[in-house]
């Protein structure tokens, strides 16, 4: 009997999955109206009005686009190596990708979050999550570079992350997979999930002045899956909301076993209360191991530190931190309205969208209007917390964002559409198809206290017929909608990098004038910097050779090096002496097993090279930097191990005498 039931459910789910794959919206052709081109046209030489920061999913990167043009401005490597920029290949950036597991050069980046002050974007930093080996990264928006990465202990699959409180007090991260905590023996049978597995929420503090992150504390919760989250804001500042699925606590065939219950939970966390407990010393120090990596802009070098302790608050013992709000059918998105009063849960398999009231939640807690408890945490009565349900919104709601006119926009994966509804009366106002199967959506400022409300972008999972075919894999598609009027209007398709999940849109004015144009040479504290060509040299330390090299239009100094032997490890420390915007020099060397360096003005970067054969090895600049860029090259001579060719290096003086003294003398005077 039980088995039959199981089979029936499986059949239902298989049908649903088929529906998911085959739901193509009607009217797929009449999508763009006449004035769309004018709306997205940004004339040559003009700037876009917005930056659009887009997660790259399994590319491990983020990308920055201009809106409304959809022009790709930059790819930012975060949890990935990037040979284009030398990120993860240069000696200076390798430590950024260090973890307690060692060097982990890939991850799955789902969510981006712009830093906030008073609930609005402040344009300082961008945060991103690593979904595989749990990490949170901070990108500096002055440089568009990854500045810091912190690993998260007691976690696995850092998915409901990184979400920020309204003044960036904390970056918060909930674990997707529950696992046995790091300080206990994890070598237990998988089917002891209920007993041994725990879910952990991490609160990372962010320093106001420089963005420096610290793992402030963790809250240990019952074991299930934390999916997404949002901070409260305005009235609900001080709280955090997490969508939870698999409250069935299954460890196998989740597509069936985690879809048993009619309702899962949204976990409401009173983090101000948690702070009080922390101050009162109620946390327990746990022994863990996690990496904390920081890039120093003065030394141009990242350092990685392994930390060994974290303070954990136990949600079972410490009352009044955690409450469960029942939420239908495996909620995915969990979004908070601009005022902070409404919390929207999006059950992936639900036919309604429940909207909860924050004040109703507080009253329910006060009245102890509980329907029971789950592992020691009170479960609030659904009807008491519910503000109302959006009826017949669509199929498979995932994510919701808000505009400045009291409207909400929800993405529907299964019915492949964006649906606009009013927050007050919960009436559906408009719906537009997406091409196809939208995941996340973002409204300009859509998660802030003051959304801009001009544009919405849908990030689609399936592209099919939207672009020229490119083999078995097609580019994922973003679609830009004008939402300034009553009706949403599709105005642009543009391809994206990797698989975008969440993205955010910020006014360009907030960011564009803060750009670092170059690094100041006189502030360069790199250990191997050469400040000026007079400081260049080549130094042998046993089998290690340090090359102190400079680059300036259009030569390296030195550009002739002899006396390198097989068995040496050679470190090229190259300082770009330029002090002007947009004049990087590159460095490539034949046979290098890593990548190029791309060195910004005033910066020093290091490429390690291990020669593998005797002979002549060219070096050259990889970035077209001047009319004589193609002349920016040199040679390294490699001799056998034990050779007595002396170590020598030069620029412009290594001239053959045989051709006649005149020429040699002339050259030497330069
Ligand atoms: Cu893609 Cu935010 Cu990982 Cu939804 S999640 S789609
Ligand atoms: Cu330097 Cu090309």
Q: Which of 332, 416, 442, 447 to mutate to test the pocket of ligand 1 (most atoms within 8 A of CB)?
A: 332
Pairwise pLDDT comparison (532 vs 664), residue with the higher score: 532
Q: Please state, rounded to an integer, the average pLDDT across all residues of the chain.
A: 93
| The token pair that represents 454 in the structure block | 């001009």
List, as one string, the DSSP characters of 156-188. BS--EEEEE-TTSSEEEEE-SB-B--TTS---S
Taking the CA atoms of the chain, what radius of gyration do you get in angstroms?
A: 28
Q: With contact defined as beta carbons under 8 Å apart, do 112 and 53 qualify?
A: yes
Distance of CA 131 from the midpoint of ligand 1 (Å): 11
Q: With contact defined as beta carbons under 8 Å apart, do 114 and 125 qualify?
A: yes
pLDDT of 197 strictly over 70:
yes
CB of 632 shorter than 6 A to ligand 2: yes
Question: Which of helix, strand or coil describes residue 519?
Answer: coil
CB of 629 shorter than 6 A to ligand 2: yes
In 3D space, the residue among 647, 650, 649 whose CA is nearest the CA of residue 568 turns out to be 647
Distance of CA 626 from the midpoint of ligand 2 (Å): 7
CB of 621 shorter than 6 A to ligand 2: yes
Q: With contact defined as beta carbons under 8 Å apart, do 581 and 594 qualify?
A: no
CB of 322 shorter than 6 A to ligand 2: no
Ligand 1 pocket (Cβ < 6 Å) reads 110-111, 159, 228, 332, 398-399, 439-440, 501-502
Rounded CA-CA distance 300/93 in Å is 9
Distance of CA 75 from the midpoint of ligand 2 (Å): 21
Q: Whose CA is nearest to atom 1 of ligand 2?
A: 585
pLDDT of 30 strictly over 50:
no
Q: Within the chain, how many helices (H) and strands (E) appear? A: 8, 45
pLDDT > 70 fraction of the chain, expressed in percent and rounded: 93
Write down the pLDDT at residue 345.
96
Taking residues 2-11, what's their average pLDDT?
Answer: 43
Write down the pLDDT at residue 662.
52
CB of 307 shorter than 6 A to ligand 2: no
- Express each pLDDT in 216-263 by its tens digit: 999 999 999 999 999 999 999 999 999 999 999 999 999 898 888 889
| The token pair that represents 123 in the structure block | 């344009």
Q: Whose CA is nearest to atom 5 of ligand 1?
A: 501
Task: Show Cβ contacts of residue 185 under 8 Å, excluding neighbours closer than 6 positions.
Answer: none
CB of 114 shorter than 6 A to ligand 2: no
Q: With contact defined as beta carbons under 8 Å apart, do 154 and 143 qualify?
A: no
Write down the pLDDT at residue 658.
67
Give the closest ligand to the alpha carbon of residue 550: 2
- Express each pLDDT in 626-657 by its tens digit: 999 999 999 999 999 999 999 999 999 999 87
Rounded CA-CA distance 360/369 in Å is 11
């Amino acid at each position: 009997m039980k088995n039959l039931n199981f089979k029936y459910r499986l059949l239902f789910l298989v049908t649903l999955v088929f529906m998911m794959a085959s739901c193509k919206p009607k009217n797929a052709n009449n999508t763009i109206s006449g004035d769309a081109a004018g709306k997205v046209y940004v004339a040559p030489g003009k700037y876009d009005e917005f930056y659009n920061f887009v997660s790259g999913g399994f590319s491990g990167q983020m990308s920055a686009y201009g809106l409304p043009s959809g022009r790709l401005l930059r790819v930012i490597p975060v949890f990935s190596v990037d040979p284009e920029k030398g990120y993860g290949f240069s000696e200076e950036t390798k430590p950024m990708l260090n973890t307690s597991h060692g060097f982990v050069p890939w991850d799955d980046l789902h969510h981006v979050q712009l830093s906030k002050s008073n609930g609005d974007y402040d344009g300082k930093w961008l945060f991103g999550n690593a979904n595989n080996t749990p990490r949170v990264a901070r990108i500096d928006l002055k440089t568009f570079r990854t500045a810091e990465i912190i690993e998260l202990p007691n976690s696995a699959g850092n998915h409901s992350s990184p979400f920020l409180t309204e003044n960036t007090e904390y970056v918060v991260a909930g674990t997707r997979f529950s696992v046995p905590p790091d300080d206990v023996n994890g070598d237990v049978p998988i089917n002891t999930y209920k007993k041994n597995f725990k879910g952990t929420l991490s609160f990372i503090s962010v320093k106001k002045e420089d963005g420096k992150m610290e793992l402030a504390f963790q809250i240990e919760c019952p074991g299930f899956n934390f999916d997404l989250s949002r901070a409260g804001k305005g009235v609900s500042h001080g709280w955090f909301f997490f969508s939870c699925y698999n409250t069935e606590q299954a460890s196998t065939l989740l597509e069936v076993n985690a879809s048993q219950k009619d309702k899962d939970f949204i976990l409401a966390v009173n983090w101000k209360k948690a702070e009080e407990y922390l101050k009162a010393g109620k946390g327990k120090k746990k022994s863990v191991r996690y990496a904390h990596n920081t890039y120093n802009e003065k030394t141009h070098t990242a350092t990685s530190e392994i930390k060994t302790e974290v303070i954990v608050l136990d949600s079972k013992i410490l009352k009044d931190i955690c409450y469960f709000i029942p939420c239908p059918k495996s909620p995915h998105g969990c979004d908070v309205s601009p005022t902070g009063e409404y919390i929207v849960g999006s059950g992936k398999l639900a036919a309604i969208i429940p909207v909860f009231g924050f004040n109703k939640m507080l009253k329910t807690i006060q009245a102890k209007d509980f329907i029971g408890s789950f592992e020691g945490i009170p479960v609030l009565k659904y009807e008491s917390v519910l503000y109302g349900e959006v009826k017949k919104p669509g199929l498979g709601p995932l994510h919701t964002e808000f505009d400045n006119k009291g409207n909400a926009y929800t993405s529907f994966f299964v019915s492949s559409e964006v649906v606009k509804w009013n927050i007050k009366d919960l009436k559906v106002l408009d719906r537009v198809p997406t091409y196809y199967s939208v995941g996340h959506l973002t409204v300009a400022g859509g998660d802030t206290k003051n959304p801009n409300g001009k544009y919405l972008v849908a990030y689609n999972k399936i592209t099919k017929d939207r672009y020229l075919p490119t083999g078995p894999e097609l580019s994922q598609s973003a679609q830009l909608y004008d939402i300034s009027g009553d009706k949403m209007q599709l105005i642009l398709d543009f391809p994206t990098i990797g698989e975008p999940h969440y993205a955010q849109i910020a006014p360009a004015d907030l960011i564009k004038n803060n750009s670092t144009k170059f690094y100041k040479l006189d502030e360069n504290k790199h250990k191997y910097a050469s400040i000026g060509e007079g400081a260049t040299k080549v130094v042998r330390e046993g089998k290690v050779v340090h090359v102190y090299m400079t680059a300036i239009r259009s030569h390296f100094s030195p550009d002739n090096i002899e006396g390198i032997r097989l068995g040496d490890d050679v470190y090229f420390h190259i300082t770009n002496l330029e002090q002007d915007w947009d004049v990087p020099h590159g460095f490539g060397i034949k046979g290098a097993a890593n990548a190029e360096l791309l060195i910004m003005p005033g910066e020093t970067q290091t490429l390690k090279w291990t020669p593998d054969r005797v002979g002549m090895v060219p070096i050259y600049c990889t970035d077209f930097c001047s009319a004589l860029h193609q002349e920016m090259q040199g040679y390294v001579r490699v001799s056998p191990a034990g050779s007595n060719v002396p170590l020598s290096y030069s620029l412009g003086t290594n001239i053959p005498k045989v051709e006649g003294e005149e020429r040699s003398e002339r050259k030497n005077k330069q």
